Structure formats: C-alpha cells, structure tokens
Amino acid sequence: MSAQHPLEGTLDDVRVLDLTQNLPGPYATLLLAAMGATVLKVEPPRGETARGVPSLFGLVNRGKQSVVLDLKQDAGREALLKLAEECDVLVEGFRPGVIEGLGLSPDVLLARNPRLVICRISGFGQVGPYAQHPAHDLNLQALTGVCHLSRDRSGHPLGSALPIADLSAGGTAATAILAALRKRDRTGAGLVLDVALSDTVQSWAHVWDQGLTPPTPRADQAVTRAFARLTEHPSRLAQQGAALIGRPERARTVGNALDRAAESLRKSAPVQGLERLKLHALPHYGTYETRDGRWLAVGIVDENKFWRALCDALELPHLGKLPVAARVLLGNVVRRQLARAFQRLTLAEWMERLPRHEVPVTPVLDVREATVDAHLLTRLGPDADAPVVPYSLAGRLSAAPELNAHEPGALTRPVPTP
C-alpha cells in the first residue's frame, strides 16, 4: 500500500459549493478536493459547458459530487441557499453582476451563513473599467504583457498554448480560500474574495520581466485610454462590406458549400465540443497586427455571438455566417481576411471601436504598459509598480456584513479529534 500523501485529509471538515464552469474555478476546487474537501458541483439543468469536452471535464472534476439546480427558478435558488447554510465555501465564476441578478449576492448568502467564505473568480475582477468585458486566456496574456514577452524573431507576439491565466487563477483562488478559512476560524466571520485572472497573470509576467528586458518607451496612453473608455451607447452594427470572396453575390453559394463540407467533416470525424480542436487552429484565436505596427489579440473560441459581432465590426458579414468547422477548414483564408481588415485602423482606433461590439479583443501590451493600464491600476492600487502578488489579503478580503455578528460562537464548528 502506498504511503499517505502529507496533505491527504487536511480539509476533511470543509464543505465547498462549486458554481463554476470550464477551467479556472473547477481547477481551484479540484485542489481543495485533493486535500480532502467535500466539493458539491452545482450545475445547470443541461450540465456545465465543459461536459462537452469529456477529457477536460474528467480531469478537473475528479473527487466531486454533482447536483443540478436551476438558479433562474425560485426553487433552485432556495435549494442553493439551504446548501450554503451547511457549507464553508462557495465558489462562483459568473461575470460580475450576474449572481446579484439571480438574487444570490454575497449579502444574501452571508445573511444565511455568516461564516461562509465566498470566492468570486472572473476575468478582470469585480471592479475596474474592464470588469464587464469578455475575455479568454489569450486576451489576458496579451493585456498583461505575456504575449509581448513571448515574441518570435520577427517581433510577432505569441500566446502560450498552456492556458496560464485559467490555471494560475485557479491556484490563486485555492490559496486565497485556504487563507480565508484560516481567518474565518479565528474571527468567526465569513469573507468575500475577488480573484481576477488578469491579476494573477500580471504578477507572473512582472516576475519574469523584472530585470530581464531593457526599459521601453513611455506607454501608449492613447491605446489604454481608448480601450478603457467603454461606450454607454448601444452597439451599432458596422456597415455591411466586403464578402468572404470577391463577389458578395456568391456568398450564399459559398456558405452552403462550406456548410456541407463542415457536416461531412463532422460525420467522418465526430467532434464533440472542442474535443479534437486545438485553440491555435482557430483563426479567431490569435494575434493580429494593426495599421500602426501594434498588435491586438482576438480570443474567440466557439462562441458564435462573439464571432458574428467581430465580423460585423470588421465589416466582414459573410465570414460571420461560417460555422466553426468551416472556419478551421478555411483557416488560412479566414486569417488573411482578418489580417487585411485589422490593417485598416490603428490599435487605438480598434480599441475605440471593438468594445462597443462586446467581443473578447485586447491590445497586446508590454509589461510596463500593463502596469499603467487603467484597469490594472484600479485592481492593484498603490502597489502597481510591483504587482508580484496578485491579490492582497488586507485589500481584497472584506468582512461579512454585521447581520448576526453578535452570535458568531453559535456557528463555530469544533475541530475534529484525530
């Protein structure tokens, strides 16, 4: 029999509600489960999206239990609140504001369980100019300087094939939860954690960059200001323009042919979700050069709404009709079309236009530009010149509301005897 791992059973008395999907949150709760925590995975009626990628889902959800709750229904919300009363930790990965819209805000949860540790994981955190902006791993690598550090010999910025934003944020979240539990056990009060993927990746980039690269020119303030200035006006579709191939009147015929090719591909080599699809095979998951020699990162995976919105913004409406499989089959053609379109404007001009369409596109910044970016400055505060630690316990942890604070002893769980 193999020797027991030194951390096995460490969290045997900890119960975790996991409302997250895909990779960052599930990886965080996987680490907790590996140390003995009981993790109850709360999924929507159709299951979480990563179930479409069985290998990934199986890896990061080992040792967990699953329950289906429809949080859009009163019965589902009440069931979750009852579970929260019996748990130590709740982890959620919704876009900021979604959980509040469901009637499950931290105040509501803490009113039901004042000792609850709530960990909120999101791309850009709960506060800051980009809090509502969609992003995938590549966007966060670009914004925090990672792509700039990974340039090839021609100066082309590159993203990591490893989803470092997702995984590093998962580790950060697990660490923060452990520290919060320690403090909760001392004070009797729950805590709310704000874990941003952008924070963690920037801390990694800063560690690597510090002292390894020479000083760079003053950050392009126009780029960061334009990207941060998210318009309050409704999105406006760009005017219909160029077709996928020379003559727009042929677009329908070409589209139908591509649909048939895509269907043939599915039948000959079934693809469930992105099971056999590498991210870097997607023409809309990569970096593109703009008219002024700067770069931006497009981080669209399989979300058709983002793809159509991007094509509208680029005035390439016929490309927006292509299914994912067809985009991969015609990868080189699509890349050329996108590259040509992005050459029409400067980076600052694109960062003025694209946020109106709500697509996951970010500028490729170097590490020093990232340290003066409006959003990252908001997140890091006075320590922005040395963002080595992605979160501060003093600055990012908030005590629970005072509701029932006069009775913390009644909820204290005794430490189990060995």
pLDDT of residue 78: 94
Any idea of the CA torsion for 237, 240, 243, 249, to the nearest 10 degrees? 130
The β-bridge partners of 285 are: 299
**What is the fold of 15-209+376-402?**
Rossmann fold (3.40.50)
Q: List, for residues 40-92, the tens digit of each pLDDT value.
A: 999 898 888 888 877 788 888 888 888 889 999 999 999 999 999 999 999 99
Q: Which single residue is written with the structure tokens 């590490």? A: 367
265 has pLDDT over 80: no
Among 204-208, 209-213, 233-237, 373-377, which stretch is predicted with the lowest mean pLDDT?
233-237
DSSP code of 410? Answer: G
Q: What angle, rounded to 10 degrees, do the helices at 164-187 and 24-34 form? A: 50
Which position among 18, 88, 166, 209 bears the catalytic label? 166
Q: How many CA atoms lie within 13 A of 51 on its CB side?
A: 10
Give the pLDDT band of residue 8 (cuts 50, 70, 90): low
- Give Cα separations from 342 to 246, 269, 295 (angstroms): 18, 33, 9
User: Given this model, what pLDDT does residue 406 score?
Assistant: 29
State the CB neighbour count (10 A cutoff) for residue 221: 13
- Cα separation of 18 and 30, whole Å? 10
* Rg of the chain, C-alpha, whole Å: 23
Q: Rounded to whole angstroms, how far apart are CA atoms 303 and 80?
A: 28
221-364 under CATH 3.90.1150.10, yes or no: no
What is the average pLDDT score of the chain? Answer: 76
> pLDDT at residue 239 above 80?
no
Res 49: pLDDT: 84
- Digit-coded pLDDT (tens) for 344-372: 999 999 999 998 898 999 999 887 787 77
> Looking at the predicted structure, is the pLDDT value of residue 183 above 60?
yes
More confident residue, 361 or 323: 361
Type and span of the H or E element at 89: strand 89-92
Query: pTM score, two decimals?
Result: 0.67
231 in Cβ contact with 298 (< 8 Å): no
Q: What average pLDDT does range 117-129 have in this prediction? A: 93
**290 Rama class: left (phi>0) / alpha (psi -120 to 50) / beta:** beta
Q: Identify any residues that bridge with 361 across adjacent strands, giving them in sequence order.
A: 298
Domain boundaries, the chain: 15-209+376-402, 221-364
Question: Taking residues 234-260, what's their average pLDDT?
Answer: 41
166 annotated active-site: yes
Contact of 139 with 301, CB cutoff 8 Å: no
Q: Model confidence at 219, in pLDDT bands (50, 70, 90)?
A: very low
pLDDT at 236: 28
Sheet bearing 38-43, strands edge to edge = 64-68, 38-43, 15-18, 89-92, 117-122, 191-196, 398-399
Q: What is the predicted pLDDT for the residue at 373?
A: 74
How crowded is residue 73: how many other Cβ atoms within 10 Å of its Cβ?
11
Q: What is the pLDDT of residues 272-320, one digit of tens each?
A: 333 334 556 789 989 999 999 999 999 998 788 999 999 999 999 888 9
